[in-house]
Amino acid sequence: MLCGALLPLFLFVFPLWNITLEAPQYPIPLGMDIYINDFADANPHDIKNINLMNHYVGMKYIPDAIPEFKIFPAGIIITSIIGLILAFKGRYKWFLGWFIFMVLLSSAGLYDFYLWEHDYGHNLDPKAIMKFTNPDGSVMGFQPPLFGSKDILNFKAHSYPQLGAYFLGLGMLCQLAAYFVGKREAKPINAK
């Protein structure tokens, strides 16, 4: 349980997610690491160069900061503290509760990420330099995939979780394991 509560804190060290854009004229692909509290260049100046590319199709600049950068870290710290308290004081049944809580929170985070991506890829400047349409005539969007790889015009976009996300997942699995271990240990006591 202790591990479970502490592992998500690695999110402050390692990126949560990464989006990489590949194209022939970028032998070193453009990449952006998404941290719990920041957007960072995979290689120096990548975000600036992604913005420069994207302004041709009217996409907004990737902001320096978004409100989530304050909410998410707070959420992680609070859940970790709760986890810690549970680890020392709590009963195993609460471990399951914490796990479910974390699953819900992570899902909400992912959904939020999806909404941002959708807005980023579809809410285009009407004065965009280049306008593309889908075969059905609708305005083409440039939303990167939530998870996986996708061709967007001349780029191939990859979006995958990073070390931070794996630590979060591992932490949650620890919780679940702690619940089952706790449950098995609890049974003989109950039987006495």
Enclosing H/E stretch for 160: strand 155-161
- The answer to whether 91 contacts other proteins (rule: CB under 8 A) is no
Give me the least distance between CB of 64 and other proteins, in Å please: 14
Our CB check for other proteins shows the closer of 51 and 149 to be 51
Task: Write the DSSP symbol of residue 135.
Answer: T
- The answer to whether 132 contacts other proteins (rule: CB under 8 A) is no
Pairing of strands 26-34, 17-23: antiparallel
- The answer to whether 106 contacts other proteins (rule: CB under 8 A) is no
Interface residue with other proteins among 2, 40, 52, 186 (CB under 8 A) is 52
Give me the least distance between CB of 45 and other proteins, in Å please: 4
- The answer to whether 40 contacts other proteins (rule: CB under 8 A) is no
- The answer to whether 126 contacts other proteins (rule: CB under 8 A) is no
Interface residue with other proteins among 23, 29, 49, 60 (CB under 8 A) is 49
Of 131, 149, 129, which Cα lies nearest the Cα of 141?
131
Task: Write the DSSP symbol of residue 192.
Answer: -
Burial (CB < 10 A; 0-12, 13-18, 19+), residue 118, is: middle
Helix and strand numbers (H, E) in the chain are: 5, 5
- The answer to whether 183 contacts other proteins (rule: CB under 8 A) is no
Backbone angles phi, psi at 27, to 5 degrees: -55, -30
| Sign for the pseudo-dihedral over CA of 39, 40, 42, 43 | positive
Give me the least distance between CB of 62 and other proteins, in Å please: 15
Our CB check for other proteins shows the closer of 149 and 154 to be 154
Q: Contact positions toward other proteins, by CB under 8 A? A: 28, 44-45, 48-49, 52, 56, 129-130
